[in-house]
Chain A
Amino acid sequence: DTAVSQTPKYLVTQMGNDKSIKCEQNLGHDTMYWYKQDSKKFLKIMFSYNNKELIINETVPNRFSPKSPDKAHLNLHINSLELGDSAVYFCASSQPGGIHEQYFGPGTRLTVT
């Protein structure tokens, strides 16, 4: 029983393309997140949704657009991919608030060529 799942696990694409990453959680959590982990392993929050509502939008290019059709799903769409977008993208979920531990998906390794 996977708690937080992401698809695809690997994504290789060319510059300029548009791609999506999907995330689903079956933990009954209200809050979901997208993180970007760069090649130096630095984890940076990108977005956070609480019950389908965007609550955190860090300084991310507007080529990145999250969508939450329901509180169990948070997808990430990226337009006009650039080389610098290559990274591992993690989805996570938790109950609302920073006091709760976050459970992470397995990550999606995006490589832009």
Chain B
Amino acid sequence: AQKVTQAQTEISVVEKEDVTLDCVYETRDTTYYLFWYKQPPSGELVFLIRRNSFDEQNEISGRYSWNFQKSTSSFNFTITASQVVDSAVYFCALGPLSGNTPLVFGKGTRLSVIA
């Protein structure tokens, strides 16, 4: 069975602090994709990144970086020098490669960045 666990329900940081959002997944597939989505207070869901299981290179995009470690089944998301606009609920998701199986979402981590 596919499962995504985001153990941190809520995180609160002060602006300019770095923060890491954890994501641990379970799958029996050898090939799969992992995603992060952001849901700001306005409510829309915004795609942030997709990473396939055979590419373990870390990725950096501005203040955002992602650390994929297959050995620990984790795909963690770090925001450097956090800003108030980063306040949102962040979802990690697992996408099996095969067939029409849909994305499996974690329960989300609510990040509050305080000025």
Contacts and interface: CB of A to CB of B under 8 A. Distances in A.
Chain A contact patch, size range: 20 to 34
A109 B44 CA distance: 11
B99 interface: yes
A12 interface: no
A66 interface: no
Contact of A107 (B44, B47, B52): B44
B33 A99 contact: yes
Interface string B84-115: 00000101001111111111010110100000
Chain B contact patch, size range: 20 to 34
Given A104-B44, A107-B44, A97 B100 contact: yes
Nearest to B39: A41
Contacts of A92: 45
B97 A98 contact: yes
A83 interface: no
A48 B50 contact: no
A43 B35 contact: no
A50 interface: yes
Contacts of B103: 45, 98, 102
Contacts of A105: 44
A19 B57 CA distance: 47
Interface of A: 31, 33, 40-43, 45, 48, 50, 55-56, 88, 90, 92, 96-107, 109
19 contacts: A40-B107, A41-B107, A41-B110, A43-B91, A43-B105, A55-B100, A56-B100, A97-B97, A98-B94, A98-B98, A98-B102, A98-B103, A100-B50, A103-B47, A104-B44, A104-B45, A105-B44, A107-B43, A109-B43
